[in-house]
Amino acid sequence: MSDVHDVKAKANPGPLGLLGFGMTTVLLNLHNAGLIELSVVIVAMGFALGGLAQIIAGVLEFKGGNTFGGTAFTAYGLFWWSLVFIWVQPYVWLDQYKAEANILPADGKSMGSYLLLWGIFTLFMFIGTLKHNRATQVVFLTLTLLFFGLAAADFSGSESVHLASGVIGIVCGASAIYNAMGQVVNGEFGKKVIPLG
């Protein structure tokens, strides 16, 4: 590969982070939109690609001096790990060994608060994207709408808001995949093949 690329050039971790975010977001929101069941497939993807891949990308972005990318990928990678933790409820296992966990599972109010906080964080990150390309702006705008929509669904118990949010989430994840692939393809060809705006 050294005959194709300058070995001194630094790789761009952004596409890995966007792909990890995008593919996992599409998969989860196929569930939120009522198209597939919540299964171990989504949990595994959330842990591996949504969580680990984004954390790796975030650490590399910090190492490269990119505060925005480092903050975004690391935070959203840890979001996925926290969500997996919420789903799997490992503290329940403590009860098997007679330990006193006294930790309640998530309910509508706690999940709504959780998602609302992520929505507020994402709104501020969206403001930061106003200095980025249009593709990145679309990712963060739709993600903001997704978090606020899912929070509203959890607070209200509205299935229609939940389903609508799932559709927004599919668009969000697809836009992140598009952004990732655009960066990879454009980087390989050294010119704009896939427009990112």
Query: Which of the four pLDDT bands, split at 50, 70 and 90, describes residue 4?
Result: very low
Report the pLDDT value the prediction gives residue 70, as an integer from 0 to 100.
Answer: 98
N- to C-terminal Cα separation, the chain: 30
The domains of the chain are located at 14-189
Q: Which residue has the higher pLDDT, 87 or 91?
A: 87
Report the pLDDT value the prediction gives residue 39, as an integer from 0 to 100.
Answer: 96
Mean pLDDT, rounded, of the chain: 92
Q: Which of 44-53, 84-93, 98-107 has the highest mean pLDDT?
A: 44-53
Q: Which residue has the higher pLDDT, 52 or 93?
A: 52
pLDDT tens digit sequence for 40-61:
999 999 999 999 999 999 999 9
Which range is least confidently modeled, 97-111, 148-162, 179-193? 97-111
Report the pLDDT value the prediction gives residue 93, as an integer from 0 to 100.
Answer: 66
Q: Is 103 exposed, middle or buried (0-12, 13-18, 19+ CB in 10 A)?
A: exposed
